[in-house]
Amino acid sequence: MKIALAQISTVLGNTEKNLEKHLKLVKKATAAGADLLVFPELSLTGYNLKDLTTEVALSPASSPMFRKLLEASRRIDLVVGFAEESEHQTGLVYNSAAYLSRGNLVHIHRKVYLPTSGMFEEGRFFARGGEFRTFSTRFARTGLLICRDFLHYGSSYCLMAGGAGLFIIISAAPGRGASETSGQGFETSRMWELMGETISFFSSAVVVYCNRAGYEDGMVFAGGSFVYSPFGKMIARLPYLEESFKILEVDLSEIKKARRSWPFQRDERPELVWRSLERIVRGNHED
Amino acid sequence: MKINPELVTRAITGFIKAETARAGFKKVVLGLSGGLDSTVCACLAVRALGHDKVLALIMPYKNLDEAGVAHAEKVASLLKIKSRKIDISPQIDLYFEKYPTDSQVLKGNKMARERMSILYDFSAREKALILGTSNKTELLIGYGTIHGDMACGINPMGDLYKTQVRELGRYLQIPEEILKKKPTAGLWPGQTDEEEIGLSYEELDQILYRLVDLRQSAEEIIRSGFEEKKVKRIVEMIKRSEFKRRMPPIVKISNRTVGHDFLYPYDWDK
Whether B11 and A175 lie within 8 Å, measured CB to CB: yes
Question: Can you count the helices (H) and strands (E) in chain B?
Answer: 12, 4
Q: What is the pLDDT of residue B185?
A: 84
Q: Which CATH number characterizes residue A255's domain?
A: 3.60.110.10
Phi, psi of A174 (to 5 degrees): -75, 150
Residues of chain A with pLDDT > 90, as a percent, come to 94
In this complex, is the C-beta atom of A182 within 8 Å of any C-beta atom belonging to chain B?
yes
Query: Which residues of chain B does A178 touch, with a Cβ-Cβ cutoff of 8 Å?
Result: 3-4, 7-8, 11
The residues pairing with B78 across neighbouring beta strands, listed in sequence order, are none
Q: What is the pLDDT of residue B187?
A: 78
Confidence at A260, pLDDT banded by 50, 70, 90? very high
In this complex, is the C-beta atom of A241 within 8 Å of any C-beta atom belonging to chain B?
yes
- The chain-wide mean pLDDT, for chain B, equals 96
Angstroms from A53 CA to nearest CA on chain B: 10
Residues of chain B with pLDDT > 90, as a percent, come to 95
Confidence at A286, pLDDT banded by 50, 70, 90? low
Whether B18 and A214 lie within 8 Å, measured CB to CB: yes
Whether B10 and A49 lie within 8 Å, measured CB to CB: no
Confidence at A215, pLDDT banded by 50, 70, 90? very high
pLDDT score of A107 more than 80: yes
> Predicted ipTM?
0.93
Q: What is the pLDDT of residue A217?
A: 95
The candidate with the shortest Cα–Cα distance to A1, out of A165, A217, A187, is A165
pLDDT score of B235 more than 90: yes
Q: Quick one: CA dihedral B133, B135, B139, B143, positive or negative?
A: negative
Confidence at B191, pLDDT banded by 50, 70, 90? confident
Q: What is the pLDDT of residue B6?
A: 96
Q: What is the pLDDT of residue A287?
A: 56
pLDDT score of B247 more than 60: yes
Stated as kind and residue range, the H or E segment containing A85 is strand A77-85
Whether A178 and B2 lie within 8 Å, measured CB to CB: no
Exposure string over A177-198, b if 16+ CB within 10 A, otherwise e? bbeeebeebbbbbeebbebbbe
Q: Can you tell me the mean pLDDT for B175-200?
A: 90
B210-to-A285, B127, B218, B222 alpha-carbon distances in Å = 37, 40, 9, 11
Q: What is the pLDDT of residue B55?
A: 98
Q: Which residues, including other chains, have CB under 8 Å from residue B217's CB and lie 6 or more apart?
A: none
CATH value of B5-194 in 3.40.50.300, 3.40.30.10, 3.40.50.620, 3.20.20.140: 3.40.50.620
Q: Can you tell me the mean pLDDT for B195-199?
A: 90
Q: What is the pLDDT of residue A167?
A: 98
Whether B269 and A14 lie within 8 Å, measured CB to CB: yes
A71-to-A65, A74, A76, A77 alpha-carbon distances in Å = 10, 6, 10, 11
Q: Which of B3, B7, B266 sits opposite A184 (nearest CB)?
A: B7
Cα(B7)–Cα(B106) distance, rounded to whole angstroms? 39
Dump pLDDT digits (tens) for B70-98.
999 999 999 999 999 999 999 999 999 99
Q: Report whether B38 contacts B59 (CB < 8 A).
A: no
In this complex, is the C-beta atom of A274 within 8 Å of any C-beta atom belonging to chain B?
no
Q: What is the pLDDT of residue B186?
A: 81
Q: Can you tell me the mean pLDDT for A189-201?
A: 97
Cα(B174)–Cα(B169) distance, rounded to whole angstroms? 6
Query: Which residues of chain B does A13 touch, with a Cβ-Cβ cutoff of 8 Å?
Result: 265, 268-269
Q: Which of A175, A217, A240 sits opposite B265 (nearest CB)?
A: A217
Whether A12 and B265 lie within 8 Å, measured CB to CB: yes
CA angle, A75 then A80 then A86, to 5°: 120
Q: SS3 for B21? A: helix
Q: Report whether B196 contacts B223 (CB < 8 A).
A: no
Q: What is the pLDDT of residue A198?
A: 98
Q: Which of A46, A178, A220 sits opposite B3 (nearest CB)?
A: A178
Q: Can you tell me the mean pLDDT for B50-55?
A: 98
Q: Is A109 left (phi over 0), alpha (psi -120 to 50) or beta?
A: beta
Cα(A6)–Cα(A44) distance, rounded to whole angstroms? 12
Q: Can you tell me the mean pLDDT for A3-15?
A: 97
Dihedral, A200, A203, A204, A206 alpha carbons, nearest 10? -40
Kindly state the DSSP code that residue B213 receives in the 8-state scheme.
Answer: I
CA angle, A101 then A202 then A106, to 5°: 15
Q: Which of B10, B264, B270 sits opposite A51 (nearest CB)?
A: B264
Query: Which residues of chain A does B255 touch, with a Cβ-Cβ cutoff of 8 Å?
Result: none
Angstroms from A10 CA to nearest CA on chain B: 9
In this complex, is the C-beta atom of A177 within 8 Å of any C-beta atom belonging to chain B?
no
Q: Report whether A110 contacts A95 (CB < 8 A).
A: yes
Query: Which residues of chain B does A218 touch, with a Cβ-Cβ cutoff of 8 Å?
Result: 15, 266
Whether B4 and A180 lie within 8 Å, measured CB to CB: yes
Range of the domain at A180: 2-286
> Which sequence spans correspond to the domains of chain B?
5-194
pLDDT score of B188 more than 90: no
Number of domains in chain A: 1
Cα(B210)–Cα(B43) distance, rounded to whole angstroms? 29
Whether B265 and A185 lie within 8 Å, measured CB to CB: no
Query: Which residues of chain A does B132 touch, with a Cβ-Cβ cutoff of 8 Å?
Result: none
Query: Which residues of chain A does B4 touch, with a Cβ-Cβ cutoff of 8 Å?
Result: 178-183
